Amino acid sequence: MPTMADITIKKADGTTDIVFTALAPSGGDSTPASWRCEAVGTVAGNRPTMQVTSKSSKDKLARLVDGVISIPEVFTDTTTGIVSTRLRETFKFTAVVRVDAADTTTQELAAQAANLLKSTLIQSVLKTGYAPQ
């Protein structure tokens, strides 16, 4: 079982680091672990967040891992100076981690899934909202 920790990743520019700060570890099955980018903005509700939950499948043959990343689009009202969130872009993922699979198979799934998300083509799909044609 992984230990809760901060997560440092690169922003879209490929050079700037952004830290998702560990807020709350999971309390057990179906309870989310939560992160937030504390260095972004001055209002907690206007910051990027991530949550991950896990639980056993009904037949107990797999662990189901669900996650959601939420990035807000914020603006400042020029009249009042109030910073607000206009919308939130979200990315959700689900993994079915079989408990009867060889460790190397599960490791390969994790590596390949993460690396596919880093690929230029899949990032283009996520940026445009269209599948490749």
Contacts of 47 (CB under 8 A, 6+ apart): 36, 37, 38, 40, 41, 72
Report d(CA 104, CA 49) in Å as an integer: 30
Q: What is the pLDDT of residue 57?
A: 97
pLDDT confidence band for 124 (50 / 70 / 90): very high
* pLDDT surpassing 90 at residue 1: no
Q: Label residue 41 by pLDDT band (50, 70, 90).
A: confident
Residue 74, H or E segment: strand 62-76
Q: What's the predicted TM-score (pTM) here?
A: 0.89
Question: What confidence score (pLDDT) does residue 42 get?
Answer: 85
pLDDT tens digit string along 42-94? Answer: 889 999 999 999 999 999 999 999 999 999 999 999 999 988 899 999 999 99
Region 104-133 average pLDDT: 95
Instruction: Report the pLDDT value the prediction gives residue 130, as an integer from 0 to 100.
Output: 95
CA distance 49 to 36: 4
**Which token pair is 69?**
């990343």
- What is the average pLDDT value for the chain, to the nearest integer? 95
* Residue-level pLDDT at 16: 95
